[in-house]
């Protein structure tokens, strides 16, 4: 029997088949069922499809070009080629959902420890919503990819989105054209520490 936790994969090849709006809506509804710190529900979802998709891809490409000249992420230069590949995946995917943290701090704002911890709780809440969307997508037979390579175009995409909150991630969605093998996981005993 299909088990979304076991069988979900990051999908990087999508068919051109349209994803109906009501399916996208149902996935986002699953996202909003996630727990959130103090039930603040600090999320907002921007669904990009159709004609808006090219504008979004152009903003991403502008950022990738700017990143070569004037990097916001100088230490991540070795990941720029991977980000170009992610751009190509987003070009294939019929739908991309941008996920915002509506209570997020501005990227350039310095933060007190209290603000950092508050932010950490909000980002965890948004992450839980994203994971719900991925699992619901897998259950519905859709492929998904959780994307942070958009950070290479953080300002450009933020400027294009012009919506509330800070950008946390994007999710590419579509019907999968591949069924990859599971990626390796660290051995369980390496990641659990028992204290009794």
Which distant-in-sequence residues (6+ apart) come within 8 Å of 172 by Cβ?
A: 11, 14, 89, 90, 93, 95, 96, 144, 145, 147
154 is an interface residue for ligand FMN by CB under 6 A: no
Q: Which residue is nearest to ligand FMN (CB)?
A: 149
Give the shortest CB-171-to-ligand FMN separation in angstroms: 10
Residues 79, 149: Cα–Cα separation, whole Å? 8
- Among the listed residues 72, 146, 155, 177, the single contact to ligand FMN using CB under 6 A: 146
- Among the listed residues 56, 118, 149, 166, the single contact to ligand FMN using CB under 6 A: 149
H or E stretch covering 89 = helix 80-92
Interactions with ligand FMN, residue window 63-122 (CB under 6 A): 86
First-residue to last-residue Cα distance in the chain:
36
Q: Which stretch binds ligand FMN (CB under 6 A): 6-14, 16-24, 25-33, 98-106?
A: 6-14
Instruction: Give the number of residues in contact with ligand FMN, rule: CB under 6 A.
Output: 11
137 is an interface residue for ligand FMN by CB under 6 A: no
Give the shortest CB-68-to-ligand FMN separation in angstroms: 17
Residue 183: strand, helix, or coil: coil
Q: Are the beta carbons of 172 and 93 closer than 8 angstroms?
A: yes
């Amino acid at each position: 029997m299909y088990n979304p936790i076991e069988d979900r994969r990051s999908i990087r090849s999508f068919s051109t088949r349209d994803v109906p709006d009501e399916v996208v809506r149902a996935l986002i509804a699953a996202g909003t069922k996630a727990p959130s710190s103090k039930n603040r529900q600090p999320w907002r979802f921007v669904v990009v499809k159709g004609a808006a998709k090219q504008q979004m891809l152009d903003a991403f490409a502008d950022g990738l070009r700017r990143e070569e000249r004037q990097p916001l992420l100088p230490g991540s230069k070795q990941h720029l080629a991977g980000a170009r590949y992610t751009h190509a995946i987003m070009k294939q995917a019929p739908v991309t959902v941008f996920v915002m943290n509506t209570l997020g701090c501005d990227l350039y704002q310095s933060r007190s420890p209290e603000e950092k911890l508050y932010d950490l709780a909000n980002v965890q809440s948004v992450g839980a919503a994203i994971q719900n969307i991925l699992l619901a997508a897998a259950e519905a037979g859709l492929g998904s990819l959780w994307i942070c390579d958009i950070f290479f175009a953080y300002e450009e995409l933020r400027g294009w989105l012009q919506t509330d909150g800070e950008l946390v991630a994007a999710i590419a969605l579509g019907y999968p054209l591949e069924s990859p093998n599971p990626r390796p996981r660290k051995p369980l005993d390496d990641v659990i520490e028992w204290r009794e």
